[in-house]
Amino acid sequence: MPAAAQTGVMPPAGPRDTGASALPGFDTLKTRVDDAVLSDLIGEYRSLRQTRGGEASDDAGAKRGNMLDGLLGTYRSARFRSDAKRAVRDGATSGVTLGKLSDYSTQRAGIGSILRDRFILDTEIGRGGMGVVYSAVDRRRLEAGSAQPYVALKLLNDDFRSNSNALRTLEAEARKAQSLAHPNIATVFDFDRDKAEVFIVMELLTGKPLNRLLATSTGQPMPIGMIAAVLKGICAGLSYAHRNGVIHSDLKPGNIFVGDDRQVKLIDFGLATAGTVDGFDAGELQALTAAYASPEMFEGAPRDPRDDIYALGCIAYQLFMGFHPFAMKPANEAQAQGLVPEPVPDLDPAAWAAILSALHFDRQQRMTTVDAFAAAIFES
């Protein structure tokens, strides 16, 4: 049957309307729907809770009230996270008015949780021996209309939370890290607690940790331009920290962030602790990374900038060669086996001598400053 004679069939769509009547984009439409739904749910649950507040005289009523409180907190968390995503996508806003609703949520340490009535955990972005790292919405930033309302929160694991000596040591180290203001060091904003949760608030970084970049080219050297950018950034940040009396104690590729613009940021300064406090050493809780720890760290010797220089030598070697100088073996094992790193082809003799010095198993024979290492690499 000719198309013109068909019945009950819609006519073909005309040219797409690109004027004011066109539907908004998917992201914009989704945001509007989310806003409407979440605002409605918050209003309904608040109203229901207020209505039943005077009736909750028995256990059943109290349990129902607690359930409503938890749901209200969950919906408020979702609303904050939705607003934060919009701010990142569309830029700074004039701020948000979300009402003065109390947070009744009792859930902690999970996506959607609200800590200190301020930080809303949004996405898990990392997990290690010390705890879990989340991207989190900072309500103060969001309500002020910031274009970047997100921070990073490291929630410490049970081993640290239950050890008062560990907490005192880590808090002291976090406070020292707060004093480090340098473009190659990630900013530490605070060390805080909310009931059973202990967490560190840090700058949220974009890019990739160096260990992931190295994993994409195992056995192959990085491009020389990338090597130069990464090493210069590491040396600049580490030298500044040492001049200010702060030792990293866990320098490794996983604690070095490389941005898309090759900007390098060192993270987790001092969180492996700068020594032993009241019989507690973070090494007992696996805060140290064996493949990058100096022999002296395994012996429990007082921390020293040359511990960081040993790790720097390992990282520099990996950048030039594509693999660890001692096949990821701990320094004490490599020393016992008499391992010697394979020479880096075509590297200036002064630069190679600097790497060998940084990798020396004896602290007294190791290069003493990061500045001397950088000079030998870049000025030779």
219 and 353 fall within a common domain: yes
pTM of the model: 0.71
Distance CA 314, CA 29 (A): 50
DSSP assignment of 282-327 equals: GGGGT-S-GGGS-HHHHTTPPP-HHHHHHHHHHHHHHHHHSS-TTT
320 and 355 fall within a common domain: yes
31 and 168 fall within a common domain: no
138 and 259 fall within a common domain: no
Per-residue pLDDT of the chain (380 residues), as tens digits, is 454 444 444 455 555 555 445 667 777 777 777 777 766 666 666 666 665 555 545 566 566 666 666 666 677 677 777 778 877 877 766 665 544 333 434 444 588 889 999 999 999 988 776 788 999 999 999 999 998 999 999 998 877 777 777 777 778 778 888 888 999 999 999 989 888 888 999 999 989 999 999 998 888 999 999 999 999 999 999 999 999 988 998 899 999 999 988 999 999 876 654 333 444 454 454 457 899 999 999 998 888 999 999 999 999 999 999 999 999 999 999 999 999 999 999 999 999 999 999 999 999 999 999 999 999 999 86
Dihedral of the CA atoms 338, 290, 242, 269 (nearest 10)?
A: 170
Distance CA 41, CA 43 (A): 5
Tell the residue number behind the tokens 């090759």, with chain if given.
262
173 and 222 fall within a common domain: no
The answer to whether position 368 is within a domain reads yes
The answer to whether position 12 is within a domain reads no
Which CATH number goes with the domain that contains 175?
A: 3.30.200.20
The answer to whether position 94 is within a domain reads no
Backbone φ, ψ for residue 156 (5° rounding): -70, 145
Expressed as residue numbers, the domain containing 53 is: 26-87
Look at the alpha carbons of 293, 294, 295, 301 in this order and tell me if their dihedral is positive or negative.
negative
User: Catalytic residues, which ones?
Assistant: 250
| Total count of domains within the chain | 3
Distance CA 308, CA 305 (A): 5
Q: Give residue 148's Cα distance to chain centre.
A: 15
Which CATH number goes with the domain that contains 293?
A: 1.10.510.10
